[in-house]
Amino acid sequence: MPGWWRLACLTLLLLGSASAFAHKGSDSYLDVRQAGGLLEVRWDVALRDLDLELQLDSNQDRQLSWGEVRLRSQDISNHLLARLTLSQGAEPCQLMGQPAPLSITRHSDGAYIVLAFLMSCPEEKDALRIDYRLLDGIDVLHRGILTLHTGSQVRTAVLQPSRQPVTLSANASHWQTFSSFLHEGVHHLVTGYDHLLFLLCLLLPAPLVWRNKHWQPSVSGRRTFRDTVFVITAFTLAHSVTLALAALQIVNLPSQLVESVIAASIAIAALHNLRPVLTHRRWLLAGGFGLIHGFGFAGVLGELPLGIAERSVALAGFNIGVELGQLGFIALFLPVLWWMRHYPIYSRFIVPISSLLITFIALLWLAQRALNLQLIPG
């Protein structure tokens, strides 16, 4: 089998497998208020994540009711407490009494269980060590978003169940917050399959020119590079603006609306590859839809209870991480697409078939998100 054919099959396989994932990743929110050796903890965990580990949906109707959750409340509390260890110094902190009764709250992506409890630490030290193991071995993409309050100081960090415990204190430098969210920005981009599909839609015609109602290979590497820079810069500037507006809580849009329009933007970008209208101004398409993608990027940041300084640091790290992930994706795909452009199968088969497949995936996402239909796993 020729190399270009194997690559084409791999591309289509990757596109097909991406259809199994929606945009919002798996997150929990851990809020810790520290006063000497006393810790007041609130932990918000998505019901869908708990169902993965505890199979709470007893009647298998794919809808969790409060009755099903309440029947397993003791199991839920025990399960969560067994997957979190907080320490000040060498000895772990101990639970004081019983956790408060479970309650339900809502985040941008659905219903969350709230587990609230108090802990007493044998050693009163500023630094708090967090060993976080929720969904360890089940969901490698899961993240815990930690917010630590000590007096008037607030610090935040991203927890990963597969990594070493994190140590955080009120005196932690802003660099620790920045680096934590820098990594999270890269992670968010490379696991945000809808954003990657939109980028791929923008890159597929990059090494081609639209002439006589057909895509033809570009002969100018400089032109391809220039056009790609314009398109990606427009997308970057646009989503950076709305990411900042949403993360700083200046503008907020309903999550369902944002996710639905993101899905629609992918379908439109893919269809544009089949019959381009903005042949020399694709940057307008990228910039216009980049505005809504920025709101999608901001999901986690917008929900953090942070002051303006700490939120700005987290925003800067997260946005730079997103851009680094984006640059890595472009650096990986653009040279391959440039090499493939001379093969007639690229413009005649790979670009249109990939665009049609992306359109199909995006329309499934649109129906799933706009109408709350479970058409594909997610």
Helix boundaries (H) for 204-307: 221-247, 255-274, 282-297
Most trustworthy range by pLDDT among 23-32, 162-171, 196-205, 217-226: 196-205
Between residues 92 and 58, which one has the greater pLDDT?
Answer: 92
Between residues 353 and 310, which one has the greater pLDDT?
Answer: 353
The band of 266, judged by pLDDT with boundaries at 50, 70 and 90, is very high
Q: Tokens for 311, please give them.
A: 């939120």
- pLDDT at residue 18 greater than cutoff 50: no
- pLDDT at residue 306 greater than cutoff 80: no
pLDDT value, residue 199: 92
pLDDT tens digits for 124-178?
A: 676 888 999 998 888 877 888 898 888 778 888 888 887 788 888 767 677 878 8
Most trustworthy range by pLDDT among 4-18, 143-157, 357-371: 357-371
Displacement of CA 19 from its chain's centroid (Å): 15
The band of 255, judged by pLDDT with boundaries at 50, 70 and 90, is confident
SS3 of the chain: helix, strand, coil, percent, to 5: 50, 20, 30
pLDDT value, residue 296: 85
Burial group, residue 94, by CB count within 10 angstroms (0-12, 13-18, 19+): exposed
Q: Report which of 284, 286, 282, 288 is spatially closest to residue 208, judged by C-alpha positions.
A: 282
| Angstrom distance (rounded) from CA 281 to CA 330 | 19
Between residues 14 and 225, which one has the greater pLDDT?
Answer: 225
Between residues 197 and 248, which one has the greater pLDDT?
Answer: 197
pLDDT value, residue 19: 43
- pLDDT at residue 208 greater than cutoff 80: yes
| Angstrom distance (rounded) from CA 158 to CA 177 | 9
The band of 80, judged by pLDDT with boundaries at 50, 70 and 90, is very high
Mean pLDDT (the chain) is 83
What's the pTM value of the predicted model, to 2 decimals?
A: 0.76
- pLDDT at residue 314 greater than cutoff 80: yes
Contact 214, 273 (CB under 8 A): no
- pLDDT at residue 10 greater than cutoff 50: no
